[in-house]
Amino acid sequence: MAENNCMCQEAGVLIFPCSGGSDVGDLSDRVARKMAKCGQAKMFCLAGIGAHIPGMIESAKAANKIIAIDGCQVLCSKKILEHAGFTPISFNLKDLGFVKGKTQVNEENIDVASSKISGGKIEKTTIRNSGGCCGS
CB 49 within 8 A of CB 58: no
Where does residue 115 rank: exposed (0-12), middle (13-18), buried (19+ CB within 10 A)? middle
CB 16 within 8 A of CB 83: no
Report pLDDT digits (tens) over 14-34: 999 999 999 999 999 999 999
The rounded mean pLDDT for the chain is: 85
**Model confidence, pTM:** 0.81
